Structure 1
Amino acid sequence: MMVENERMGNRIRKLRISKGMNLTAFAKKIGKTPSYLSQVERGMASPSIMALREISKALNVPIFYFLIDDKKQSAIVRKNERRVLQFPKSHLTYELLSPDVSHQIEMIRTRIELGASTCSKPLPHEGEECTLVIEGKMKIQIGDECFTLEEGDSIYYIA
């Protein structure tokens, strides 16, 4: 995990610098301390899902931008070669089903533990999303509306 943290931290730092933001200003923009962000950028701390969502939003990239390899990607993603991501203190597991995140569509499989939620607060972003419930049931809130989806149900919405 340390190598993954270092690679992610390097990507965050390089992108932040390329956008002309210093560490202190960027930390303030995402609501974190400069020391925390410094630890993340050096691979010494693993950001929570919410922190990484704030970082990706502030840098205007998809969250998986920080998690993909730089090597050339195939159009096929084999089941045993999926990028899997788990965050500390999170009840979510993400699997990237797309070869990368440089296209207009990303496919992500999310596993949510029973009774867990995806995040503590909504984080709107550009684009569209669809959700398909493969097993169990879930509640999803979009704006002020709350929906209950059961196995086989799907929902589409503007993010």
Structure 2
Amino acid sequence: MIGARIRELRTERGLTLARLAAAAGVSSGLISQVERDLADPSLETLRKIAKALDLPLFSLFQEPDATAVAVVRREARMQVRSPVGGVVYTRVSPGHGRLEVLQGHLVPGGWSAAEPWSHPSEECVLVLRGRLVVEVSGAEHLLEAGDSCYFDSSLPHRYLNPGTEPADFLITATPPSY
């Protein structure tokens, strides 16, 4: 499904495989394999492709039909997991509109990104369980269950789990650009 969506978005923009690959900083072969569902891209690769397409990450998973009221069933939620860092994101919102809601799960000692990164948005994170460090522009903010943190996502940021238990959290971002 993701491969067909990437191909659709690439062709809508009139991009060749080579141009998208160059813009994303990955090989043309990888883009080709992803589009043909022969390779599962990492979370970092998906971020690069989405950025090259000038779209929020989860729009790569977006269903084409948007409705005024959308119910997202637990078993139908989109999920993205990183092969490194131990983070899993599940999209709670329907994937269209001006607000993105993600449920995050981070293993002990894990991180959302190896290095802080930015995207044009505003973000608020609410810790549901465990402990979470929100690193924004090099400053670390330790949150515990029930704590929240709001910040400008255009500042380099990432999430870290310093605890010995998994951390569960909600992220809201507007506009969606994750």
**TM tier relative to shorter chain:** 0.7 to 0.9
Give the deviation of 1:37 after TM superposition.
1.3
Question: For residues 70 and 20 of structure 1, what CA distance do their matches in structure 2 show?
Answer: 19
Query: Which moved further from structure 2: 146-155 or 69-78?
Result: 69-78
Structure showing the higher strand proportion among its residues: 2
User: What's the Cα RMSD here?
Assistant: 1.8
Q: Which one of 30, 42, 50 corresponds to residue 36 of structure 1?
A: 30
Distance 1:72 1:26, change over 3 A: closer
Matches within 5 A, 1:43-58: 43-58=37-52
Matches within 5 A, 1:8-23: 8-23=2-17
Q: Runs of 5+ in structure 2 lacking a partner?
A: 154-178
After superposition, the C-alpha distances for 1:74-99 in whole angstroms (9 at most, x for unaligned) are 52223343223334445222211112
Structure showing the higher helix proportion among its residues: 1
What does residue 76 of structure 2 align with? 81
Matches within 5 A, 1:122-137: 122-137=116-131
Query: Which moved further from structure 2: 61-70 or 136-145?
Result: 61-70
After superposition, the C-alpha distances for 1:46-81 in whole angstroms (9 at most, x for unaligned) are 111111011111111111112233355552223343
TM-score (norm: length of structure 2): 0.77
Identity in percent: 33
Matches within 5 A, 1:44-123: 44-71=38-65, 74-89=69-84, 91-100=86-95, 102-123=96-117
How many residue pairs were aligned?
152
Distance 1:78 1:25, change over 3 A: closer
After superposition, the C-alpha distances for 1:17-66 in whole angstroms (9 at most, x for unaligned) are 22122111221211111111111111111111111011111111111112
Q: Runs of 5+ in structure 1 lacking a partner?
A: 1-6
Q: Which one of 141, 156, 165 corresponds to residue 147 of structure 1?
A: 141
One-letter identity of the residue aligned with 2:118: P
TM-score (norm: length of structure 1): 0.86
- The residue matched to 2:104 in structure 1 has which SS? strand
One-letter identity of the residue aligned with 2:115: K
Question: For residues 81 and 150 of structure 2, what CA distance do their matches in structure 1 show?
Answer: 25
Question: For residues 81 and 62 of structure 2, what CA distance do their matches in structure 1 show?
Answer: 14
